[in-house]
Amino acid sequence: MEQKFFKVVANGKPRQAAVEKFKEYPEIDFVYWQGPGRMPPAYFEEQLAEADAVYSVGALRDPLGADFIEKAPHLKVLAQASVGYDNIDVAAFRAAGIPVGNTPGVLVDAVADLTYALILDCQRHLVAAAAHVKNGTWGQRKALGLGSDLAQKTLGIVGMGDIGSAVAKRAQASHMKVIYHNRHQRTDDEALGVRYVGFEELLSTADVIVVAVTLNPSTLGLFGHKEFARMKKGAAFVNISRGKVVDSAALYDALKSGHLSHAGLDVTDPEPLPGDHPLLTLDNITVTPHIASATTETRDAMALLTVANIMAGLKGQPLPAQIK
């Protein structure tokens, strides 16, 4: 039998693209935990004890930190198939000398497209309009109401990284004006055709607000009662970052009172959002189940970048996408 040199363990079922890619490396023994009901949790822990690398299938898993590192004494690299890494205690991995990789870049267009779709839905009520037709109420026009133009409206992006700027380009195609707020002003505002503003100014000026920040202690609960109250009456709110950036009860109040016209969320707190959650009783909200990067091409690209991160880590090289 062929000698395997490295054990790579996944904490869930990875994309088939990753399974196939690892087959190209005869030195890799790739195993994955198939999840509760299919395999006992003990299987994962047993594999982890021998793991040279861990492939984390996504950010919505258990937290990965010091306890996890203790269970994986041979670990040389951790790579997660997501851009967000708020579930990972990066400092603990750094202290243990274990590099951590994620998947920026490859998902930018897919996430920006879904964000733009949510902006469109907030302004044009596509989801409600389609349901209206399916419910057989076409013709009762009053039931539907009119949407709002995107053209000449102001989009306010909070968190203007690669995804934020890709959203800006899509909005500009609809002739929206774009303002943004970041911890640090970018150096390419003119090239992007966007304007940097303070957080307060963004809240009180934007017609549509998009949240694309990473979740960290400074963004946890960033949007609460005070922030929603500062938004323009009739503003729309889109969150594609992490649910915990928003106080769900405050968002509920802002939508219920009609202060906000509509919200589009791809992320919620908690996830999955239970079917009887108060937010889902509202007519002026569209919630998608955290699918912003969920296209075949993008998820495959994320899987392959995760494999590349692992292969580099096993060779002691810098990862192609290493979290600093």
The site for ligand GLV (CB under 6 A) is made up of 59, 82-84, 107, 293
Whether residue 227 contacts residue 255, with contact meaning beta carbons closer than 8 Å, is answered with no
User: Which listed residue (271, 277, 297, 299) is catalytic?
Assistant: 271
**Cβ 60 to ligand GLV, closest distance in Å?**
8
**Cβ 103 to ligand GLV, closest distance in Å?**
6
Is 242 a known active-site residue?
A: yes
Toward ligand GLV, which CB reaches closer, 81 or 235? 81
**Cβ 265 to ligand GLV, closest distance in Å?**
13
**Cβ 267 to ligand GLV, closest distance in Å?**
7
User: Which listed residue (125, 170, 262, 290) is catalytic?
Assistant: 290
Toward ligand GLV, which CB reaches closer, 107 or 260? 107
**Cβ 198 to ligand GLV, closest distance in Å?**
27
With CB atoms as reference, the residue minimizing the distance to ligand GLV is 84
Toward ligand GLV, which CB reaches closer, 201 or 300? 300
Is 271 a known active-site residue?
A: yes
3-state secondary structure the chain: CCCCCEEEEECCCCCHHHHHHHHCCCCEEEEECCCCCCCCHHHHHHHHCCCCEEEECCCCCCCECHHHHHCCCCCCEEEECCCCCCCECHHHHHHCCCCEECCCCCCHHHHHHHHHHHHHHHHHCHHHHHHHHHCCCCCCHHHCCCCCCCCCCEEEEECCCHHHHHHHHHHHHCCCEEEEECCCCCCCHHHHCCEECCHHHHHHHCCEEEECCCCCCCCCCCECHHHHHHCCCCEEEEECCCHHHECHHHHHHHHHCCCEEEEEECCCCCCCCCCCCHHHHCCCEEECCCCCCCCHHHHHHHHHHHHHHHHHHHCCCCCCCECC
User: Which listed residue (242, 259, 297, 299) is catalytic?
Assistant: 242
**Cβ 190 to ligand GLV, closest distance in Å?**
30
Q: HSE on the CB side for 98, CA within 13 Å?
A: 27
What distance in Å separates the CA atoms of residue 182 and residue 121, rounded to the nearest whole number?
Answer: 25
Toward ligand GLV, which CB reaches closer, 82 or 154? 82
Toward ligand GLV, which CB reaches closer, 35 or 289? 289
Toward ligand GLV, which CB reaches closer, 115 or 261? 115
Question: Catalytic positions, please?
Answer: 242, 271, 290
